[in-house]
Structure 1
């Protein structure tokens, strides 16, 4: 009788320890975001005279009003949304077509071309920054919308790799049945492969949106002024201009964070489904 009780006790202690570690990790991860949101709801006077962890009392939205009324924060928000939408649609389209060709079509040098393309993931962004900037300046695309989006528009090695592996996991019998029914490569992609790949496409859409929404280095290099300023660059400029007014800076970061939180809540089931289906555990 003592052994089963000891085993149950050890099992409960082990489970409790695991949950304690997970809770601690979640707290450490979420704490900066919660602190930023709390700070954005405080007045500058309250932030200066009270501890940082004190709750906002009273809650004020003055920092948010100031962002849109005095600092034209709506323009970077609109520019970031446009850049993200265009890159999402075009990059996903190009990545799907390339991944389908690498996974399901046969042509000379297919595998070699794929691995060479995949090897470009190993090149750090800073190594191509100066040549890419020179190309954009020569093409007259500095400080333009297309100058921001073109470097990431025509596909992503990571997206192509992930989609290729997923497409290769689709049963060959289903694809063969579609071909017997008279479907060509385009119709197989449209009516068979894409409907079965919604989870992984949704996951890549979320990854692409987050990457473009948070992109800082390239927009900072290729643009100047406020006309094509994205959220990250606008927030960094705001921080340098108003270094003492942290309520204004945290209000900007909170606004930038909210759309991503909503996006994750809407797509979390698709993300979990894609992880389980692709075998990444």
Structure 2
């Protein structure tokens, strides 16, 4: 009996303590987190490298732009490249046109997309699902296919070479923006609509006073997408605009290549200035953008 008891005590002494994970087990989450951070930092540097190189080139003298081996840091920062590049072409006019088109496009996109999104999400009508699927199907049509018909239409109504060719399309709605808003509206409880209807509210009042105030993240995401898309739009201005006075920043940058000798340091300087509004906007509004996109996939 004593021998059996001693063997049990001896075997129990060699068992690992319960509730205390071994050191390798505790280290595994830390190692995984470290590998994740290293991967994220590497990917960030990879995606930031073109921007960093653009900033570096914008500060270099002309003779250092194509020096070999290439150097990331200039020998002396040439800050005047920004002023020289901006004054080389009427970029103040280009900036004014871009701001005008972008602001009008954002407002038009929000107005024209919120109305059908509300109808698809909150109204029950026969054939609404089929209409929604047909609307989504238009997202698969390449924009290049519609350029010629739209150009002919603008030509017949004498809108070619005017900023209206860039302002009108956002006021007609974008399928992707309608989809985002519709998904956000679906997540709102219908009981609020029913309570508002009992109080005598119309559908327009429900949309403007209940649905839209509760969908600010989705509206912010749509506004940011419209801002970036119209600020960087090159294809439409290149086709519809002819006069330099109507050019936007995107097509204005292309004029640098038409000169006999392209000043790449000045081109990079103006390019940095042109994308600063996008960086600043996304930096301060990324919370709304991420939350708005995330809400579109909830519940429905």
- Per the normalisation by structure 2, the TM-score is 0.87
Q: 2:42 aligns with which of 1, 24, 27?
A: 24
Stretch deviating more after TM superposition (102-111 or 113-122)? 102-111
1:83-134 CA-partner distances (Å, limit 9, x unpaired): 1111110121010011111111233432222221221100001111111111
Contact 1:41 1:59 in 2 (8 A): yes
Contact 2:54 2:268 in 1 (8 A): yes
Contact 1:235 1:253 in 2 (8 A): yes
Aligned ranges 1:168-179 → 2 under 5 Å? 168-179=186-197
Structure with bigger gyration radius: 2
Contact 1:166 1:200 in 2 (8 A): yes
1:166-201 CA-partner distances (Å, limit 9, x unpaired): 111101122222222222111111111011000110
1:144 match: secondary structure? coil
Q: What CA distance in whole angstroms lies between the structure 2 residues aligned with 1:61 and 1:224?
A: 32
> Is 2:245 the partner of 1:208?
no
Q: For the structure 1 residues 138 and 276, does the alpha-carbon distance in structure 2 shift closer, same or farther, using more than 3 Å as the test?
A: closer
Task: Give the corresponding residue for 1:237.
Answer: 255
1:279 shift after superposition: 3.6
Superposed CA RMSD in Å reads 2.0
Q: What CA distance in whole angstroms lies between the structure 1 residues aligned with 2:68 and 2:80?
A: 18
- Per the normalisation by structure 1, the TM-score is 0.92
Q: What CA distance in whole angstroms lies between the structure 2 residues aligned with 1:21 and 1:229?
A: 41
Aligned length: 280
Where does structure 2 lack aligned partners over 5 or more consecutive residues?
1-15
1:248 shift after superposition: 1.3
Where does structure 1 lack aligned partners over 5 or more consecutive residues?
none
Q: What CA distance in whole angstroms lies between the structure 2 residues aligned with 1:20 and 1:38?
A: 25
Contact 1:43 1:62 in 2 (8 A): no
Q: Which runs of 4+ in 1 moved over 4 A?
A: 48-51
